[in-house]
Amino acid sequence: MPLGIYVHLPFCPYICPYCDFVKWPMRASAAASYLAALERQTASAPSEPAATIYLGGGTPNAYDASTIGALLERLQAKFPPLRDSREISIECNPELVRKGDFAAYRSAGVNRVSIGVQSFEPSEIRTLGRKHTTDDVERAVAAARRDGIGSVSLDLIFAVPGQTPESWRRSLTTAIEIGADHISAYGLTVEEGTPYAAWRQREPASFANDRLEAELYDIAIATLEAAGYEQYEISNFARPGHCSAHNQNYWANGEYLGLGVGAASYRNGVRSVATRSLAAYIEAVLKEQPVPSESERLEGEARLGEAVMLALRTVQGVNVAGFKGRYGVDVLARFAPVVEAYEETGMLEVAGGFLRLTRRGRFVANDVCEAFLPST
C-alpha cells in the first residue's frame, strides 16, 4: 500500500475569518523554531518509500523558496520515491509568489502547485478576508508554467456571502481561462469559533441557503464538465492526467504520515491527529518525546464504514469486488438497509460493479456517507 507524506506549514501572512485550520500569523521567530522542530521530527521518523509528498498549510510559501527546497531535500532523502517519478505538491498563496520561487521548487522536485484563489470577484475576495487580485493569480500561474511545474491547481469556494450564480460562473470561467489543470470547488463551511460563525449568528440571511448552495454546486459541475474537466471527487475536477495522486490515496483508504502540528496520520489501522498546540508540538519534538496526539484504532464496522465513506467521495465509487478482496466483506450485503434506502431516494446507485453516489447524491454526500458509519 503506497504511503503519502503530508507536511503541515502553519504560518500565514494574515488570518482569514472563515478559517478553522491549524495556523498562526507569520512571525519569523516562531516560523524558525517550528521549522527546526519539523526537521527534527523528520529526522527521527523511520525511513521508508513514499508515493507522494504534500506541503500544506497554513501557507507553505510564507517560507522562502530556499527553505522549502532544503526541507524537501530532507524529506526526499528520508522518504525515497516508490517509482522513478512521484507527485510532490505545494500549496501557495498567489500574492506571496516571488520571482524564481517556482524554479526553486521545481529543482527541489515539486511538480504540482495548488494555488489558494477562492474567488476572482473583488468583493468576495474582500469578504473572505483575502488580498490577492486576478493579476496575482495570472502571474503565479504563468510563472509556474514557465518554470516547468507540470500541474497547476486552483482552489475556489462557493456559497461565499454575497456570491450569486453569475459571480460564481465568472470565477469558474476565469479559472478555466487561466488554464488550470485542476480545480477544487469547495462549499463554504462555517466552523464554530471562527469570526464567520459569529457573523452567521448575527446575520444568518447573509449566508447562502441550501437551495442556493445546491444551485452553485450544480453550476460548478456543469461549467467544469463542459470545459473538459472530469469530476473525480465531490469537490475536485481535473483535466486528463491531472488528478491529485496524494488525495486519491486518502480516498482509497491508503496510508499517510502527517508531520507537523495538527497533522493527521493513518498507519496500520490507527488514525491519529497531532496536537494543535504549537508550543506543545515544539516542546515534545525538541525533548525527543512523542508528539501529543489523539489516536483511534479503526476496527470492525468503523473500519469498513470509513472505507466506504472515503470511496463514496469519489465519482467512481466503491469497487464492490475490490472491496470484497481487500476487506473480505460484500459491501452491498453488509450495508443492505442503507444502500436500499438511499437507492430508493435516488442518492445511491449500483452499476457496473460499483456502488456510487448519483449526481443528486453528491449534493448531500456528507449525509449519505455518514449513514455508513456506526452510530456513536
Site for ligand SF4, rule CB under 6 A: 12, 15-16, 19, 21, 23, 57-59, 93, 116
Rounded (10°) CA dihedral 60, 65, 68, 74: 170
C-beta of 40 vs 131, nearer to ligand SF4: 131
User: C-beta of 149: minimal distance to ligand SF4 in Å?
Assistant: 20
DSSP letter string over 215-276?
HHHHHHHHHHHHTTPEEEETTEEE-TT---HHHHHHHTT-EEEEESTT-EEEETTEEEEE-S
Q: In the bound complex, which residue of the shown chain has the CB atom lying closest to ligand SF4? A: 19
User: C-beta of 298: minimal distance to ligand SF4 in Å?
Assistant: 27
User: C-beta of 221: minimal distance to ligand SF4 in Å?
Assistant: 24
User: C-beta of 115: minimal distance to ligand SF4 in Å?
Assistant: 11
Longest dimension (CA), the chain: 57
Structure letter (DSSP) for residue 363 = G
C-beta of 42 vs 59, nearer to ligand SF4: 59
User: In 3D, which of 106, 67, 64 has the Cα closest to residue 89?
Assistant: 106
Contact 80, 117 (CB under 8 A): no
CA angle 205, 209, 215 (to 5 degrees): 135
Q: Distance between CA atoms of 230 and 36, rounded to whole angstroms? A: 40
User: C-beta of 186: minimal distance to ligand SF4 in Å?
Assistant: 11
C-beta of 247 vs 314, nearer to ligand SF4: 247
Residue 371 CA: distances (Å) to CA of 16, 307, 366, 367: 32, 13, 9, 6
C-beta of 3 vs 12, nearer to ligand SF4: 12
Q: Distance between CA atoms of 87 and 249, rounded to whole angstroms? A: 12
User: C-beta of 96: minimal distance to ligand SF4 in Å?
Assistant: 10
Contact 305, 297 (CB under 8 A): no
C-beta of 117 vs 183, nearer to ligand SF4: 117
C-beta of 196 vs 256, nearer to ligand SF4: 196
